[in-house]
């Protein structure tokens, strides 16, 4: 990929695809501005090099309709505060009025366009819409790793029409971090995979077996693996149609000499409720109808020890229902083991990042990925359309 640093941006109109899909509370206050903060180095670079900066993003799922609750206006205000500089706001992302605002930009000035997904043409990768976006700029920069697995107008379509295209700092950093941690890591490489469903991680698990030395599986998805090995997990969530696949992954791990670790004990509850009766049991002691909501303490300690000698750790998915205080213990022990390790550690996926925050280990993780879907896409061994377009 060509880098933004390879392009002379002086006095040029530079269209930057960012990811400002940030969370809001009921009063439309931004509750987490990390995705905005992640773009500041590129914006400051473009200001310093006298570019005319056009920022574009989506927010939420407005389904092609204008929704004031999904306007990027509050993001514009927050960005202005963060960079201590006025950021102009366009109330649309295409059209004559926007074109006029773009043409009025001076060197170093910034314009944020309204939500791209107020137009269905964005998600449909409409060619005419892509061209309208490209007509605003001399240079297109993709700095939105989190949407680079999408084949959409502002990600791939615009590249066909923009005079020059390149990658921004964040996209470069994400791709490099993935490559260094998975495809060209310091060994041993340990992958910690959790979450609710095998189906959502199946391709990633199969691909990771090519690279990892140890594969740790926790969360509700571990139930399917346990049942595939003859364990009666009683009322726990199981994907019956994937039992054979789970068994195949275990066999493939053996063939690849990958150490695959599954729970040996579980924290089970009478029902899925934060106030439910719960207890820690060995696999053959699960009470009838009870469900596993976390890995047990013995398992957490085994997982933690397996992480100790790692040189690289990839973590995607919690070990249990960490949102409930009763069932965060397994995730917390594993999270602190990762944080205390001297290995290069990379965390990807929205739930995993949230778990890392709740466990107070974010500052000790080497790299936090900004894109859950895109991160998983790479873990599956797939190319990102947004990156392919730039190549």
Residues taking part in catalysis: 35, 197, 350, 373
Contact 169, 42 (CB under 8 A): yes
Contact 243, 251 (CB under 8 A): no
Distance CA 307, CA 340 (A): 10
For residue 276, what are the contacts with CB-CB under 8 A and spacing of at least 6? 269, 270, 326
Closest CA to 184 of 211, 145, 205: 211
Contact 141, 164 (CB under 8 A): no
Before 251, cis peptide (omega within 30)?
Answer: no
Contact 167, 3 (CB under 8 A): yes
Distance CA 260, CA 249 (A): 9
Contact 369, 379 (CB under 8 A): no
Strands laid side by side in the 214-217 sheet: 259-261, 214-217, 189-193, 312-316, 344-347, 367-368
Distance CA 347, CA 349 (A): 7
Q: What DSSP string describes 84-120?
A: TS--EE-SSSSSHHHHHHHHTPPTT-EEEPP-GGGSH
Contact 249, 205 (CB under 8 A): yes
Distance CA 143, CA 240 (A): 40
Distance CA 360, CA 278 (A): 25
Helix or strand (DSSP H, E) at 249: helix 243-255
Distance CA 113, CA 10 (A): 21
């Amino acid at each position: 990929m060509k880098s933004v640093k390879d392009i002379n941006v002086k006095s040029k109109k530079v269209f930057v695809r960012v990811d400002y899909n940030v969370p809001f509370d009921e009063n439309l206050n931004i509750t987490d501005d990390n995705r905005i903060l992640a773009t500041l180095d590129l914006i400051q670079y473009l200001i310093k090099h006298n570019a005319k900066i056009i920022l574009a993003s989506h927010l939420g799922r407005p389904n092609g309709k204008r929704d004031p609750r999904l306007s990027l206006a509050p993001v514009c205000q927050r960005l202005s505060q963060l960079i201590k500089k006025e950021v102009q706001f366009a109330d649309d992302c295409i059209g004559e009025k926007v074109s006029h605002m773009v043409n009025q930009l001076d060197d170093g000035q910034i314009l944020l366009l309204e939500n791209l997904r107020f137009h269905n043409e964005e998600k449909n990768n409409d060619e005419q819409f892509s061209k309208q976006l490209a007509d605003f700029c001399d240079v297109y920069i993709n700095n939105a790793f989190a949407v680079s697995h999408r084949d959409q107008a502002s990600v791939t379509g615009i590249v066909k029409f923009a005079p020059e295209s390149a990658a921004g700092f964040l996209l470069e950093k994400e791709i490099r971090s993935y490559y260094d941690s998975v495809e060209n890591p310091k060994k041993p490489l340990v992958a910690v995979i959790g979450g609710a469903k095998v189906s959502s991680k199946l391709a990633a698990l199969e691909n990771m077996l090519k690279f990892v030395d140890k594969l740790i599986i926790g969360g509700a998805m571990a139930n399917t693996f346990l049942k595939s090995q003859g364990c009666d997990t009683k009322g726990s969530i199981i994907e019956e149609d994937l039992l054979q696949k789970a068994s195949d992954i275990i066999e493939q791990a053996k063939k690849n000499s990958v150490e695959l670790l599954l729970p040996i004990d579980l924290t089970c509850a009478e029902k899925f409720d934060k106030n439910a009766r719960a207890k820690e049991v060995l696999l053959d002691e699960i009470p009838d109808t009870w469900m596993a909501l976390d890995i047990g303490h013995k398992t957490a300690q085994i997982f933690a020890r397996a992480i100790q000698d790692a040189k690289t750790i990839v973590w995607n998915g919690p070990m249990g229902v960490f949102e409930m205080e009763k069932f965060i213990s397994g995730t917390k022990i594993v999270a602190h083991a990762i944080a205390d390790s001297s290995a290069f550690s990379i965390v990807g996926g929205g739930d995993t990042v949230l778990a890392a925050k709740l466990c107070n280990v974010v500052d000790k993780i080497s790299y936090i990925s900004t894109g859950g879907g895109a991160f998983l896409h790479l873990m599956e061994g797939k190319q990102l359309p947004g990156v392919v377009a730039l190549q």
